[in-house]
């Protein structure tokens, strides 16, 4: 049964596959096979122990997908729909691994590509594309989550260096990353800017940089998201990203990557639905498979309907991004909608499995717990709704 549950059924009720290019199908199938073969058989133990699966990093590197849509610098230069399919299939395997990859490939590499100078791109992106250097991205602070624009971390210019002081929270990969992008407020002009902290030739981060692992998480347990303390950390001026000069530039990155969270939600929902469907066909109660009962079929049909609507939204969003037409509120609508629906699908899947649904070996519990995190990060459901509300009314409800 466990083997059956962990194999993807390739849920595609509205035949979206017919709209994919051969290259997009190949990327999807490559990541799906990786998730089935390398991730799902081992991830429960890592998740249960809150340990990161370092053994999978070289295997992710072999997929050749880091940098996704970035062209050049050793990156694959794939379509935005291919990137969406990667997020879906990676999350179907495991949300923690998808977060690791999204932070490295989407946030860290994406920021350098979007806001770095050509010299900075050449300097960092090729090694990151091979996962020879791992990236992290530090914006959130303990006192500033939803209002991240009010961040208090400071950067003071001293000659050819900046001196950074402050604290960051929930910064994935930052305990072992080779490059950490820190967003800080320049004391000279008060603007938010981005600085790349990097390890030296001895593998050490700059003096004054330290991390403390956040423990006791109810979801995304296999990805490490520590607190960062920055005490008089000195960064060369050349490590300030040339194109990051205000929080508007930060928002460019957040808008570009927010769709990835919407895609991830689909992956969690598909994994939970497929596990519940397989279970319902095999679980016998009252002398017959529970899939034969009306209430189970009703749940499965409603789960499939939610997944299908999420898939259609993701397909359109990726195409709009490809054409340069995607707006921030569009990305917010997809994230808000998909996170809410995926959490519901995972909950319904757990309900279909009864008591067994809370056991890791049936996989749904992991995806349900991870969806609680997806529902919150990169902007809560409420914040996304206010972004959309501001767009449709022309009135800001933010303080």
**What's residue 8's pLDDT?**
57
Say yes or no: 294 and 378 in one domain.
yes
DSSP one-letter code for 240: B
Assess whether 75 and 97 both reside in one domain.
yes
Query: Cβ contacts of residue 396 below 8 Å, gap of 6+?
Result: 386, 390
Query: For residues 169 and 141, is the Cβ–Cβ distance under 8 A?
Result: yes
What is the mean pLDDT of the segment spanning 282-291?
96
Question: What is the Cα–Cα distance from 302 to 28, expressed in whole angstroms?
Answer: 25
Question: Could you read off the pLDDT of 251-283 as tens digits, one per residue?
Answer: 999 988 888 999 999 999 999 999 999 999 999
Task: Judge whether 399 lies within some domain.
Answer: no
Model confidence, pTM: 0.95
Q: What is the CATH number of the domain that holds 218?
A: 2.40.110.10
pLDDT-based confidence at 366, cuts 50/70/90? very high
Q: Are 237 and 161 within 8 A, CB to CB?
A: yes
Our count of domains for the chain comes to 3
Task: Give the end-to-end CA distance of the chain in Å, rounded to a whole number.
Answer: 52
User: Tokens representing 344?
Assistant: 């519901």
* Residues 323 and 190 placed together within one structural domain of the fold: no
For residue 398, is it within any domain? Answer: no
CA–CA separation, 337 and 310 (whole Å): 8
1 in a domain, yes or no? no
We report the CATH number of the domain holding residue 352 as 1.20.140.10
Q: Are residues 255 and 389 in the same domain?
A: yes
33-56, pLDDT tens digit by residue?
Answer: 999 999 999 999 999 999 999 999
Residues 234 and 282 in one domain: no
pLDDT (0 to 100) of residue 258: 87
In a domain, 58, yes or no: yes
Q: Are residues 251 and 379 in the same domain?
A: yes
Residue 369, classified by CB atoms within 10 Å of its CB into exposed (0-12), middle (13-18) or buried (19+), is buried
What does each C-alpha distance from 112 to 102, 185, 240, 253 come to in angstroms?
A: 14, 18, 10, 10
Q: Are residues 388 and 254 in the same domain?
A: yes
**Are residues 153 and 278 located together in one domain of the fold?**
no
Q: Are residues 155 and 234 in the same domain?
A: yes
* CA distances from residue 74 to 12, 103, 386 in whole angstroms, order as listed: 32, 18, 38
Residue 223, SS3 per DSSP: coil
The CATH number covering residue 82 comes to: 1.10.540.10
Same domain, 268 and 227: no
Domain that holds residue 350: 247-393
In a domain, 365, yes or no: yes
């Amino acid at each position: 049964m466990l083997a059956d549950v962990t194999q993807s059924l390739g849920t595609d009720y509205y035949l979206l596959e017919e709209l994919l290019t051969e290259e997009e199908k190949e990327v999807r199938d490559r990541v799906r096979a990786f998730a089935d073969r390398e991730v799902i058989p081992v991830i429960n133990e890592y998740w249960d122990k809150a340990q990161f699966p370092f053994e999978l990093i070289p295997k992710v590197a072999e997929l050749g997908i880091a940098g996704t849509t970035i062209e050049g610098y050793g990156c694959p230069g794939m379509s935005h729909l291919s990137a969406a399919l990667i997020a879906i299939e990676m999350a179907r395997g495991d949300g923690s691994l998808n977060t690791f990859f999204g932070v490295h490939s989407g946030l860290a590499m994406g920021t350098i590509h979007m806001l770095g100078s050509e010299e900075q791109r050449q300097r960092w992106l090729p090694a990151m594309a091979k996962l020879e250097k791992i990236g992290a991205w530090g914006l959130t602070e303990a006192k500033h989550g939803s209002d991240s624009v009010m961040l208090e971390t400071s950067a003071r210019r001293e000659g050819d260096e900046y001196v950074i002081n402050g604290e960051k929270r929930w910064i994935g990969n930052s305990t072992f990353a080779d490059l950490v992008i820190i967003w800080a407020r320049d004391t000279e002009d008060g603007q938010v800017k981005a600085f790349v902290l990097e390890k030296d030739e001895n593998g050490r981060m700059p003096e004054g940089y330290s991390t403390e692992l956040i423990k006791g998480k109810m979801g995304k347990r296999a990805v490490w998201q520590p607190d960062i303390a920055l005490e008089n950390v000195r960064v060369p001026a050349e490590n300030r990203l040339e194109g990051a000069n205000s929080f508007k530039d930060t928002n460019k990155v957040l808008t570009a990557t927010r769709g990835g969270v919407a895609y991830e939600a689909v992956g969690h929902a598909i994994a939970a639905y497929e596990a519940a469907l397989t279970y319902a066909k095999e679980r016998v109660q009252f002398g017959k498979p529970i899939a034969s009962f009306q209430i189970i079929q009703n749940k499965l049909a409603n789960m499939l309907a939610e997944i299908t609507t999420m898939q259609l939204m993701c397909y359109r969003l990726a195409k709009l991004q490809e054409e340069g037409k995607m707006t921030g509120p569009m990305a917010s609508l997809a994230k808000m909608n998909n996170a809410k629906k995926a959490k519901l699908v995972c909950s319904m899947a757990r309900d279909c499995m009864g008591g067994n649904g809370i056991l890791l070996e049936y996989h749904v519990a992991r995806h349900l717990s991870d969806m609680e995190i997806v529902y919150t990060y990169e902007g809560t459901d409420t914040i996304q709704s206010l972004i959309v509300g501001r767009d449709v009314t022309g009135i800001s409800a933010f303080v």
